Amino acid sequence: MGRVGGHSNNSDRGAPPLVQLQKLAVLAKSAPVEEAEIAPLEPWSLSRRLDNATMAELVRKYEAGIGTPQLCREYKLSKYSVLKVLHEAGVAMRRQTLSPSKRIQVTQLYEAGSTMAEIAAELGTGLGQVRQSLIDAGAYIHPPARRRRA
């Protein structure tokens, strides 16, 4: 018995007899053919997910000082999508660096055992800024932990 056969509910029945297969073939030839109507796939574009008012609100919040990581979480968008909305609106991009006190906090949290993702979430910043802050501080970057298989 094959691998599938041992786990199948029909493993004890065996293959259907040839006569039965021939009857099914005749029935299949005479069955009416229905063509399914398939709607054309439309791209999952930002304009379909966000209306103009929402995009304008996102731009206003960014211009008011809210960072892209927070906007990503709030609007459930990727960083690329948030940056695309901002770029299309003609917003001048800013590169926000962490303050010296936050840089020290990043290093302390990381050395205490927090992951970069946990630190980024706690400080409301991006993973890239946390990593760069650790590199600038000369901290040893631990290899990613391997997940245990359940």
In a domain, 15, yes or no: no
For residue 10, what pLDDT is reported?
Answer: 57
What is the per-residue pLDDT across 83-110, written as a single tens digit (0 to 9) for each? Answer: 999 999 999 888 767 889 999 999 999 9
Spatial separation of the C-alpha atoms in residues 4 and 63, rounded to whole Å = 59
Same domain, 147 and 103: yes
Same domain, 132 and 149: yes
In a domain, 35, yes or no: no
Same domain, 102 and 143: yes
Pick from 8-12, 54-58, 87-91, 110-114: least confident: 8-12
For residue 9, what pLDDT is reported?
Answer: 60
Provide the terminal-to-terminal Cα distance of the chain, rounded to the nearest Å.
Answer: 29
Same domain, 79 and 108: no
**Burial level of 50, CB count in 10 A (0-12/13-18/19+)?**
middle
Among 55, 88, 121, identify where a domain stops: 88
What is the per-residue pLDDT across 27-48, written as a single tens digit (0 to 9) for each? Answer: 888 877 777 677 666 557 777 7
CATH of residue 133's domain is 1.10.10
For residue 6, what pLDDT is reported?
Answer: 54
- In sequence order, which ranges of the chain are alpha helices (DSSP H)? 18-30, 46-49, 52-63, 68-75, 79-88, 100-111, 116-123, 127-136
Greatest Cα-to-Cα distance within the chain, rounded to the nearest angstrom: 81
Average pLDDT along the chain: 83
Range of the domain at 127: 97-150
